[in-house]
Structure 1
């Protein structure tokens, strides 16, 4: 099992619009690709020395092969949709392999 993590710092003046867009459009579009099992959006609890507000969205995926298919088939189109917030946000992406999980 893998997690595709996208951490984004969003400027406060577009924060509410971005959160609404993430919840109502972007995250559902990611799930609709059929590649991800679930998505969890969390606010990062840190002192924002750079300003803005930081969030992490973790998309759970069954295996690396499916994640690679997402990059090949869907990533460009879905990332293009984030242009609504160009200059107002900065994101970085991390791929993580789950080595142990207890529920």
Structure 2
């Protein structure tokens, strides 16, 4: 299992518009690609962000590396361009890949 993590520093002046776009357009469109089976949006807590911004982590879970590579090759450039065209420098992002080694759950 691979988690493609996109951390976004969102200018506070556009949070409502960004979140609405994520929920109503962006996330449904990415789910339609069939490359991820779970997507989670989490808010980063604490004073680790820049003043006037709020930081979110969007975690896209893929079954395997092949699915993630297919996403990179066939979909990512268009989604990144759309995001930049809509929000420009008001959303600054960095991306990381995480490999799940072990997951523990209470039963």
TM norm structure 1: 0.95
Residue 61 of structure 2 corresponds to residue 60 of structure 1: yes
CA shift, 1:50, in A, is: 1.3
Distance 1:97 1:50 in 2: 28
Distance 2:30 2:97 in 1: 15
Residue 10 of structure 2 corresponds to residue 14 of structure 1: no
Distance 1:4 1:57 in 2: 8
Alignment of 1:10-89 (within 5 A): 10-51=10-51, 52-83=53-84, 84-89=86-91
**Structure 1 segments (4+ residues) deviating >3 Å:** none
Match of 1:90 among 75, 88, 92: 92
Change (3 A) 1:49 1:5: closer
Q: Structure 1: give runs of 5+ residues left out of the alignment.
A: none
Superposed CA RMSD? 1.0
Asked whether the 8 Å contact 2:49–2:55 carries over to 1, the reply is no
- Figure out how many residues of one structure are paired with residues of the other and give that number: 103
Asked whether the 8 Å contact 2:11–2:54 carries over to 1, the reply is yes
